[in-house]
Amino acid sequence: SQTIHQWPATLVQPVGSPLSLECTVEGTSNPNLYWYRQAAGRGLQLLFYSVGIGQISSEVPQNLSASRPQDRQFILSSKKLLLSDSGFYLCAWSVNGAGGYTFGSGTRLTVV
């Protein structure tokens, strides 16, 4: 079956520290992968998407970056976190949208 794993579930990091969030997908090949962020009480903002290994597109300029080292692995990183990076980060995958989009369980990041 197709599943998506996202970790960690919660994270508290000091300002200026690095960040690495990981997402892996099982049960499908060559999915499109997405990173979203949801600020408290707000909607979902698309941060990055990837249509293949090593192919990353950024939607919002910021101090975050993404990488896709393997077909089913998507990583969100930062060298130095800002307070404004706090939020709920969600990873998602889809093949072509027709089967819908599956979301991970999310990582709640608090930058202090």
Partner 1 sequence: ELKVEQNPLFLSMQEGKNYTIYCNYSTTSDRLYWYRQDPGKSLESLFVLLSNGAVKQEGRLMASLDTKARLSTLHITAAVHDLSATYFCAVSTMDSSYKLIFGSGTRLLVRP
Please count the other Cβ atoms lying within 10 Å of the Cβ belonging to residue 2. Answer: 12
Q: Does 26 bind partner 1 (CB under 8 A)?
A: no
Residue closer to partner 1 (CB basis): 1 or 96: 96
DSSP three-state, residue 84: helix
Residue closer to partner 1 (CB basis): 14 or 97: 97
Q: Does 89 bind partner 1 (CB under 8 A)?
A: no
Q: What does the binding site for partner 1 look like in residue numbers (CB under 8 A)? A: 32, 34, 36, 42-46, 49, 51, 57, 59, 90, 92, 94, 96-106, 108
